[in-house]
Amino acid sequence: MDKYNEVAREIADELSNTLNSIESESVYKLIEEIQKAEKVFFVGVGRVLLSLQAIAKRLAHLGTQTYIVGQITEPAITEKDLLIVGSGSGESAFPLIIAQKAKQYHATVIHIGANPNSSMKKYSDLFIRIPVSTKLELPGEIPSVQPMTSLFEQSLLLLGDAIALMMIKEKDIDMHNLWEYHANLE
């Protein structure tokens, strides 16, 4: 076997193991909160933010009003809205400040992360654990051969795609009709 196939298999195995380790009940609750929210906001930093941007875009294709915190057209958050925080450690300063601010406006806050006992816990209404290895070396972490937090960011993106597919199936959406929501100024 060549090196590429070996590495690709290792990554795919890690992702499969991780996605199958996420508590499904928390995913169902997240979907429920997304569906009842008027607007869904996302906050994260670095590669986590890139995964969240992709999730926001996919949910927008399903008709959900989504916003990335800081985008120029971001509206006000209210008690009818949801903030999804992506932070593996739950200690990143910017997401913590935004979660605290969202709670001041009585929005629902959901944290998707790897550390169940982080500072984010204080502001979260729901925690979804992606149980991957962190620098904290917590019990139950799934180890990774990949650098830094790659497994978390990849798993976050695929969790978002799984949520979108679950919503599509639940609503019995014809996938071909989703193209009407796709960007057309390209």
Instruction: Answer whether residue 139 shows pLDDT above 90.
Output: no
Report the alpha-carbon distance of residue 94 to residue 45 in Å, rounded: 8
Residue range 141-183, pLDDT digits in tens: 888 889 888 999 999 999 999 999 999 999 888 888 878 777 7
pLDDT class for 26, splitting at 50, 70, 90?
A: very high
pLDDT of residue 178: 79
- The chain-wide mean pLDDT, for the chain, equals 94
Answer with the residue of higher pLDDT: 91 or 133. 91
Residue range 101-130, pLDDT digits in tens: 999 999 999 999 999 999 999 999 999 999
Residue range 64-74, pLDDT digits in tens: 999 999 999 99
Return the domain boundaries, the chain: 3-176
What is the CATH code of the structural domain delimited by 3-176? 3.40.50.10490
Quick one: three-class SS letters along the chain? CCHHHHHHHHHHHHHHHHHCCCCHHHHHHHHHHHHHCCCEEEECCHHHHHHHHHHHHHHHHCCCCEEECCCCCCCCCCCCCEEEEECCCCCCHHHHHHHHHHHHCCCEEEEEECCCCCHHHHHCCEEEECCECCCCCCCCCECCCCCCCHHHHHHHHHHHHHHHHHHHHHHCCCHHHHHHHCCCCC
Identify the active-site residue in 6, 10, 38, 153: 153
pLDDT of residue 1: 62
Q: Once rounded to an integer, what is the mean pLDDT over residues 137-142?
A: 82
pLDDT class for 17, splitting at 50, 70, 90?
A: very high
Residue range 42-51, pLDDT digits in tens: 999 999 999 9
Both structure tokens of 153: 């960011």
Cβ-contact 9, 15 below 8 angstroms: no
**Does the active-site annotation cover 153?**
yes
Cβ-contact 33, 108 below 8 angstroms: yes
